[in-house]
Structure 1
Amino acid sequence: METLDRAEAAVFKNPPLAATLVQRMERDFKPRWEGTWGGKFVLHGSSPGPNAVRLDGNDYLAVTGHPSIVAAQVEAITKSSEFVVQSGVFLLQQHPTRALEMSLANWVGKEDAFVCQSGYSANVGLLQSIADANTPVYLDTQAHASLWEGAHAARAPAFAFRHNDAAHLDKIMAKNGPGVVVVDSVYSTTGSVCPLEDMLEVVEKHGSMILVDESHSLGTHGPGGAGLCAELGLTDRVHFISASLAKSMAGRAGFFTAPASMRYYILSSSFPNIFSSCLLPHEIAGLRATVDVLQKADDGRARLKAITQRVRDSLSAMGYPLHHGTEQIIALEAGTEPDTMRLRDELETRGVFGAIFCAPATSSKRALVRLTLNSALTEAEIEHLENVAREIAPIVKPWDWPCARRARVQASAMEVAA
């Protein structure tokens, strides 16, 4: 007890922070913390209870705890006694990681693949290897932050094009020359789908390469869950595919594909691959088993698609503006951070839990609550979500959200033009 009392009474001291850091925090963060957020971290709401409807994760096909995956993890933990923790670039062809990489490559229809610590590091490491200061990188305005950071790591000139706008991409590429085009297959905040064939026509017209991040379509789209590229029959025209393995794969890793001829070049140039330790045996075994599970999950994919259509139709009929997406990711874009926090609180008070996305994940005035659907949602859970959305609609007034007003203005403009 005496030791505990001394610990509780201890005063920890730090040397003074640099004045420039203090000034930056005072200028850029303090007003947001004390004013906009009211002294509470914007991403932290209430704790879900035992009957909460959880729509804040990414396990779209509900594979967490699958017996085959758990069995593979347990076997690896209990039998992997020769494992050495080291950088992945040291792993030989016989290592289990190579079998996982080839399994992933075969799944999406590519020649070779590289497993990384996360989807973020996969995108950074790949772009660092395929772009440089003389390679323009063209990014959709809604491309994941890791893709923008990859362009930065490559010291490449980065050019943004309007979301899903191939004509705008064509215009910018005509001005700045061939390079690397970067898109998400399904965008992580709104659930919108990339018009991939239109993008490829522009890429090929300008003699360029394309990187497609399949994080939110791997497992959920395409034959055997091979992704959007496979679903559209465009895999052979796509240069590089990347994905987080923390979505449908429900793990903690990422990967990207590349031609086999690039293997040792990438292992010599991709910093996340060089300077990060490899995955642990149970992680490798679990991910390998998950690939097998997801390839056979046609029933889960069909159910997820049906749930997605139902929920989107229901919410749209209530006045929620969901016009910017079509897939299992649903964006309730309230706009300002205070309005989004209020929306979150109204949902959570009634047992529905999503996730707030705000700057830097979105632009400063387009904050949203993201709901992510999964194939294991029960009829009771879906009905509860619908009932809650109906109950709070007169309170949060989704038809008055900025994105709803913009959609009406655009629709009126199109009617006039027609």
Structure 2
Amino acid sequence: MNEFEASSYSSLRPKSVAEPTFLKRHVDHYFRERVEKTWKGGHIMHGRQPDANSILMVTNDYLDLANHPEVIQAQIDCLRASDNTVVMSGVYLHGDSPQLHLERRMARWMRMESSLLCQSGYAANVGLIQSIGAPGTPVYVDMFAHASLWEGVRSAGLEWKPFRHNDPSHLETMIKRNGAGIIVVDSIYSTTGSIAPLKELVAVANRHGCVMIVDESHSLGTHGDQGRGLVAGLGLESQVHFVTASLAKAFAGRAGLIACSERLRQFIKYNSFPAIFSSSLLPHDIAALSRTLDLIKGANHERERLHANAAYLRRHLDALGYNVDSGEAQMIALESGPEEQTIVLRDALESRGVFGSVFCAPATATKRSLIRLSVNCNHSYSQLNRVIDVCRDIRNEVDLANWPSTRRGGKRPALVRANAA
């Protein structure tokens, strides 16, 4: 935009409505405390722009299917063939619609009785807990569970009972104290890649008559036989009431899913606010997801490569002194701690052509922000080695030895020795 265009745009731009005092005070606090004080006038989420030579470790498209030609063609064919698209809430869908057909396919694949497609993984989790949360029901939430699960508890007007991350013993203690309720966990946690001890957690749920909800957003497509996820992979599908997922990860789409019994599906469909008051998925979305399901079933080589890449990078970062021991999956967290330090880490990585995802409050605790490196099945060993070299070179620049996670993981003595070497 040149100077004349900028001037013209400014003169045509409508004036903003004055903010009431309470809103102004609330927004001012954000800009003063976070933008100005903590981020020094910048923004923690806005660093450099990657170029053609950059290594991108930001995508959730773990199997590299977002731009698969068969998925793109399925959408094109659907758009060209459709001349009667009806945009409406999913509660009106019945008969033999493509969405209902895909729901049946997804359920069979996951070895569940039924499933319900939603607008997003967030909508799936919020709507599920909001609809099944009878008044007074305690909800036991892993402290690292996704924000959508916590929001579902809030939407239901229930009280959450957090338990220590991946700690079945602490969960059981909480249930003995507060009674049977709903247990909410992720199978793989999005920040660190830690894997839930599902067998032990399900055993606790069974002993105490609890409802079990497992969010498989980061394991559906990538784990288990044919990518069915960890619940099916561990043979727990008959003991878990609900499996939810975002289909914006390995499925590389824009949808969510709830897999459960047909009875519970019918209840949720007509009681979940997101299901009732949002339009259903469009036909070309369904076509893309259906073709992606076919590809995921046959993606054994891609899954093997993904897991090999993740293990390779995690092993070498561990040897460099980074505390990455808490995870096993394709997401690797470099937990730098305070947001000021995470900005230093972000800039050090991006200046050398490595781009990860910044996680900060409200996605993490205030003092536990991090950079997440998301591994893809098509990352080459040359690219991974470049990431490893960069992480080796920046250790002193980012003050790795003094990160809280370094001290917490007992990495500091090894790191000092490594630096000396």
Structure 1: which amino acid aligns with 2:116?
Answer: F
Q: Is the 8 A contact 1:133 1:157 kept in 2?
A: no
In structure 1, the partner of 2:171 is: 169
CA, structure 1 residues 359+234, in 2 after alignment: closer, same or farther (shift >3 Å)? same
Q: What is the distance in 1 between the residues matched to 2:151 and 2:174?
A: 20
Structure 1: which amino acid aligns with 2:353?
Answer: G
In structure 2, the partner of 1:81 is: 83
The TM-score normalised by the length of structure 1 is 0.95
Please point out which of 385, 388, 396 is paired with 2:387.
Answer: 385
The TM-score normalised by the length of structure 2 is 0.94
Q: Is the 8 A contact 2:75 2:285 kept in 1?
A: yes
In structure 2, the partner of 1:365 is: 367
In structure 2, the partner of 1:64 is: 66
In structure 1, the partner of 2:145 is: 143
Q: What is the distance in 1 between the residues matched to 2:372 and 2:190?
A: 9
Q: Secondary structure at the match of 2:358?
A: strand
Identical aligned residues as a percent: 45
Q: Is the 8 A contact 1:336 1:366 kept in 2?
A: yes
Whether 1:232 aligns to 2:234 is yes
In structure 1, the partner of 2:122 is: 120
Structure 1: which amino acid aligns with 2:129?
Answer: L
Please point out which of 318, 324, 327 is paired with 1:325.
Answer: 327
User: Residues 340-383 of structure 1: CA distance to partner in whole angstroms, max 9, x if unpaired?
Assistant: 01101111111110010000000000000000001011222112
Q: Structure 1 runs of 4+ off > 6 angstroms?
A: 1-4
Q: What is the distance in 1 between the residues matched to 2:41 and 2:351?
A: 20
Q: Is the 8 A contact 2:335 2:369 kept in 1?
A: yes
Q: What is the distance in 2 between the residues matched to 1:346 and 1:262?
A: 49
Unaligned runs of 5+ in 1: 412-418
Q: Is the 8 A contact 1:329 1:370 kept in 2?
A: yes
In structure 1, the partner of 2:416 is: none
**Which deviates the most, 258-267 or 280-289?**
258-267
Q: Secondary structure at the match of 1:395?
A: coil
1:409 Cα deviation from its structure 2 partner: 9.8
Please point out which of 53, 56, 77 is paired with 1:54.
Answer: 56
Matches within 5 A, 1:394-413: 394-408=396-410
Q: Secondary structure at the match of 2:264?
A: helix
1:202 Cα deviation from its structure 2 partner: 1.2
Please point out which of 214, 217, 221 is paired with 1:215.
Answer: 217
Q: What is the distance in 2 between the residues matched to 1:167 and 1:383?
A: 39
In structure 1, the partner of 2:417 is: none
Q: What is the distance in 2 between the residues matched to 1:172 and 1:347?
A: 41
User: Residues 147-189 of structure 1: CA distance to partner in whole angstroms, max 9, x if unpaired?
Assistant: 0001111111211001011111111111111111000000000
In structure 2, the partner of 1:354 is: 356
Unaligned runs of 5+ in 2: 414-421
Q: What is the distance in 2 between the residues matched to 1:231 and 1:263?
A: 22
Q: What is the distance in 1 between the residues matched to 2:309 and 2:265?
A: 40
Whether 1:95 aligns to 2:97 is yes
Q: Secondary structure at the match of 1:264?
A: helix
Q: Is the 8 A contact 1:128 1:270 kept in 2?
A: yes
Structure 2: which amino acid aligns with 1:179?
Answer: G
Structure 2: which amino acid aligns with 1:218?
Answer: L
Q: What is the distance in 2 between the residues matched to 1:151 and 1:67?
A: 40
Structure 2: which amino acid aligns with 1:148?
Answer: W
Q: Secondary structure at the match of 1:404?
A: helix
User: Residues 174-221 of structure 1: CA distance to partner in whole angstroms, max 9, x if unpaired?
Assistant: 111111100000000000000111111211111111100000000110
User: Residues 299-358 of structure 1: CA distance to partner in whole angstroms, max 9, x if unpaired?
Assistant: 001011111111011111111110211110000000010110110111111111001000
Q: Is the 8 A contact 1:321 1:398 kept in 2?
A: no
Q: What is the distance in 1 between the residues matched to 2:66 and 2:112?
A: 26
Q: Is the 8 A contact 2:401 2:412 kept in 1?
A: no
**Which deviates the most, 160-169 or 100-109?**
100-109
1:237 Cα deviation from its structure 2 partner: 0.9
1:3 Cα deviation from its structure 2 partner: 9.0
Matches within 5 A, 1:127-206: 127-206=129-208
Q: Secondary structure at the match of 1:102?
A: helix
Structure 2: which amino acid aligns with 1:198?
Answer: E
